[in-house]
Amino acid sequence: MIAFISSQAGFLVLLSVFAVGAIGSLVFRNHDTWANVWSSFFALFGSLVGIIFSLLMLIQGREMSFSLFQTSFVFLQFSLRIDMLSAFFIFAISLVGFFCSLYGFGYVKHYYGKYSIGVLGFLYHILLGSLLLVVTTSNALFFLIAWETMSIASYFLVVYDRRDASNVKAGFLYLIMTYVGTAFIIAFFLMAYKYTGSFQFDVIKLHHALIPQMIQNAMFACALIGFGTKAGIIPFHIWLPAAHPAAPSHVSAMMSGVMIKTGIYMMIRLFLDVLAPVPLWWGEVVLVIGMVSSILGVLYALTEHDIKRLLAYHSIENIGIILLGIGSSITFYALDMKSLALLGLIAGLFHTINHALFKSLLFLGAGSVIDQMHTKNMEEYGGLIRYMPQTALFFLIGSMAISALPPFNGFFSEWLTFQSLFQGIATLSFSLQFIFVLAAGSLAFTGGLALTCFVKAFAGIFLARPRSKEVMHVKESVLSMRLAMGGLAFLSILFGLFAGFVTETIAFVGQRLDIFHNVKVFVSVSSMQTLQLTDGFALVSAPAIFSFLAIILFGVFLLVRFGINSTQKISFGDTWDCGTHLDTRMEITTTGFARSIILVFKNVLKPSIQQTVKYHDAKSRYIPKSRTVTMSVGNIYLTHFYQPLQKMIDEASLRSKTIQGGNINMYISYIFLALILSLFVVL
């Protein structure tokens, strides 16, 4: 059985499970419950097989390459290659897919009768299957097919709730951005084909030295824009905060948790495998993009009061942090410091899996809250911890993990990222050191700002008094949703506690890349899951931190509860508020909470404050009836980058329209001219 799962046939079975799930969901599209049961069962089963498959691959260290079937086209080979890097991403996708599917089983019930559950199941299965294909293909054309399938499936999932006009608009933006991205990716592969004569990744890798440096640089720019758009780097991120909130929550979790990571996967594949070794400045550019994305991502998150948009911006931030790791890896590799390069890659991959876990957890938590509250506006929440205690606990764990608080998993991947940046500061020459100082600084500020943002998010949603009447009717979500969140929360803790084990596994994944073959890992793992840098610069132990904190907490609690004045009484009363009558207007809102930090960064964020005052008497301006203050942050990318771009394209199109005169003689002469020209070129 085990031997079968970890074989080529096992992977094909894995894909066919999703295919059966997809087709079956369509068959049952007229019956909501059956469609849901069918689709959830096959999604869960498929994800489970995927987890087992990838774990077996990782444990056995087996790699395989094979073709799905032969075609008569020379260029298009349906060839797959599953190496350790692919297996790692299959693991991340299956793991998140498993919990999202579990969650989806309970979550989609509120779509019953409104939208077709069968279609949702179909698209969801297509998304899962295409995600697995994207990280395993080894032929560029086949890759593009998988990539497009993934993009289209996710587009239809974004516009699934199609009666909301804003979702359709978000989907449209996503579609445009994804095609712009794909255009650059196609350009990348065409350039590679021109000089290497193949669309096979391994052939490109073998002959990439034939590509002139200028063309390679152009390819780098294309790959960065193409895959960066999917990953959500700034300034190509604008689709992300629009599209992720629009999709159903378990799909948002999939999109934010793993789909955007396919961009990261391809960057690693191309820059550290296919095209490696790459020039130094590529690494520096990736580092700078990481800095900008991490800092700006978290700042934009702070300005949001739509819970899912806030989480979407945090994805941008975390992609930035991952790119800090990957960027340092590329930089070190270009400088021939292989051991440190491997450290950077480990940090990036560790953060990738961690982010997949806690971001999907947070999206699922947000989904539960939205499901009950029917609004994404955090200003209308408040006090939900009383009504949804378990969701609150899981969301709290997710918040702590994403804020990199020890001993949760986020801390250890950020610790590794910090260490790889510190190594750069300690060992590199002055100009390079400067970039690493800035990178470490941006990571430090990002950590602090993320903490602020999650105090805002958690307290805004779950703490204090309800800010709207809706809250009173809120109930805890159903079992399958709680199980999914609980599982992810548990894994977030587990990946923190066993950070050493995870690091070892990822180090193994990295070492199996060709460029890191026989490279010593810069971080060693000793007893107590202790992570230690080889040069003794730093060490950290998750179980030690956890147990030390737990013992002190337990001791303090026992001492205070029973040691001192054990007969103490606790009485309850109203919150004291200077003697005024306390109502929900006294509470701080999430906008108010973030206001001071937004004002600190007002030069970057460009916030605008609008006041609308209504008066009782139009003549007397002294007694206002109501007063509304709206604080908003403009979209500077739209106004300063995309709109001018659109204007330029519009004008260029208008100008070029003049050649299309409608006169048939003109068109014939165009053809004639083109013929003459092409003859000149060819002969």
Partner 1 sequence: MTFFLFLLQGLFVPVVSPLCVGVIKKIKARLQNRQGASIVQPYRDLWKLFHKDERVSRDASWIFFVAPFIVFTVTIFVGWNIPLFSLVSGLSLTSDALVIVYALALGTFFLALSGMDIGGAFGGFGSSREMTLSALAEGGFIFSLLTLALMAGTTDLFDIASHPLFHNGQYFIPVVLAFSGFFIVLLAETARFPFDNPATHLELTMIHEAMILEYSGKRLALMEWASANKLVVFFALGANIFFPIGLSSSVSMSALLIGIGALLLKLFVFCIVIALIESSMAKFRFFRLPDLLVASFILNAVAIGLVHSL
Query: Of residues 302-331, which lie at the interface with partner 1 (CB under 8 A)?
Result: none
Q: Name 155's Cβ contacts closer than 8 Å, sequence gap at least 6.
A: 171, 174, 175, 178
- Least Å distance, CB 340 to partner 1, is 15
Residue 174 or 415: the one with the smaller Cβ distance to partner 1 is 415
Q: Is 403 or 511 the residue whose CB approaches partner 1 more closely?
A: 403
Least distance between partner 1 and beta carbon 377 (Å):
18
Pairing of strands 607-615, 79-82: unpaired
Quick one: 518 or 565, whose CB is closer to partner 1?
Answer: 565
Among 75, 281, 537, 667, binds partner 1 (CB under 8 A): 537
* Segment 212 to 251, residues that bind partner 1, using CB under 8 A: none
Cβ(210)–Cβ(612) below 8 Å: no
Q: Least CB distance from residue 557 to partner 1, whole Å?
A: 5
Stretch that binds partner 1, among 220-228, 450-458, 649-657, 667-675 (CB under 8 A): 450-458
* Residue 501 makes contact with partner 1 by CB under 8 A: no
Indicate the DSSP class of residue 624.
Answer: E
Q: Least distance to partner 1 from the beta carbon of 241, Å? A: 21
Q: Among 552, 609, 636, 645, which residue sits at the site for partner 1 (rule: CB under 8 A)? A: 552
Which of 12/426 has CB closer to partner 1?
426
State the nearest-atom distance from the C-beta of 383 to partner 1, in Å.
7
| Cβ distance to partner 1 smaller for residue 113 or 536 | 536
Smallest distance, partner 1 to C-beta of residue 400, A = 7
Question: Within 457-496, which residues bind partner 1 (CB under 8 A)?
Answer: 458-459, 462-465
Nearer to partner 1, 32 or 284 (CB): 284
CA distance linking residue 78 with residue 143, whole number of Å: 9
The 3-class secondary structure across 441-484, one letter per residue, is: HHHHHHHHHHHHHHHHHHHHHHCCCCCCHHHHHCCCCCHHHHHH
Beta-bridge partner residues of 55: none
Decide: is 536 part of the binding site for partner 1 (CB under 8 A): yes
* H-only helix segments in 249-337: 249-254, 261-269, 280-303, 307-334
* 32 scored as a contact of partner 1 (CB under 8 A): no
Q: Which of 25, 54, 293, 452 touches partner 1 (CB under 8 A)? A: 452
Tokens of 413: 């991947």
Q: Which of 2, 9, 560, 677 binds partner 1 (CB under 8 A)?
A: 560
Structural contact between residues 325 and 351, judged by C-beta atoms closer than 8 angstroms: yes
Supply the DSSP string of 73-107, one letter for each residue: -SS---EEEE-HHHHHHHHHHHHHHHHHHHHHHHH
- Closer of 441 and 634 to partner 1 (Cβ): 441
Q: Which residues of 307-345 are buried (b: 16+ CB within 10 A; e: fewer)?
A: bbbbbbbbbbbbbbbbbbbbbbbbbbbbbebbbbbbbbb
Site string for partner 1, 579-618 (x = CB under 8 A): ---x-x-xxx---xxxxxx-xx------------------
282: helix, coil or strand?
helix
Q: Is 343 in the site for partner 1 (CB under 8 A)?
A: no
Q: How many CB atoms lie within 10 A of CB 637?
A: 15
Question: Closest CB to partner 1 among 127 and 449?
Answer: 449
x/- mask, partner 1, residues 344-383, rule CB under 8 A, reads --------------------------------------xx
Residue 250 tokens read as: 């378990």
Write out the two tokens for 618. Answer: 């139009």
Q: By rule CB under 8 A, what count of residues binds partner 1?
A: 83
CB of 385 to partner 1, least distance (A): 4
Q: Is 644 in the site for partner 1 (CB under 8 A)?
A: no
Residue 549 contacts partner 1 per CB under 8 A: yes
* Closer of 562 and 680 to partner 1 (Cβ): 562
Q: How far is the CB of 595 from partner 1 (least distance, A)?
A: 7
Q: Does residue number 629 form part of the binding site for partner 1 (CB under 8 A)? A: no
For residue 573, state whether it binds partner 1 (rule: CB under 8 A).
Answer: yes
List the interface residues with partner 1, window 395-414 (CB under 8 A). 396, 400, 403-406, 411
**C-beta atoms surrounding 193 within 10 Å:** 17
* Maximum C-alpha span of the chain: 102
**277: contact with partner 1 by CB under 8 A:** no
Angle at 395 between CA 531 and CA 449, to 5 degrees: 65
One of 433, 468, 524, 635 touching partner 1 (CB under 8 A): 433
Measured from the CB atom, the residue of 345 and 439 that comes closer to partner 1 is: 439
Angstrom distance (rounded) from CA 39 to CA 24: 7
Distance CA 299, CA 297 (A): 5
Stretch that binds partner 1, among 64-72, 204-212, 443-451, 472-480 (CB under 8 A): 443-451
Give the span between the Cα atoms of 533 and 515, in whole angstroms: 21
- Contacts to partner 1 from residues 509-528, by CB under 8 A: 528
In the complex with partner 1, which residue's Cβ is closer, 6 or 419? 419
Q: Does 447 sit near partner 1 (CB under 8 A)?
A: yes
C-alpha dist (Å) from residue 307 to 453, 485, 488, 565: 11, 17, 19, 43
Q: How far apart are CA 146 and CA 137, in angstroms?
A: 8
Phi, psi of 627 (to 5 degrees): -140, 125
Concatenated DSSP letters of 330-398: HHHHHTT-HHHHHHHHHHHHHHHHHHHHHHHHHHHHHHHHHHHHS--BGGG---GGGT-HHHHHHHHHH
Q: How far is the CB of 350 from partner 1 (least distance, A)?
A: 15
Considering beta carbons, is residue 560 or 666 the nearer one to partner 1?
A: 560
CA atoms within 13 Å, Cβ hemisphere of 1: 2
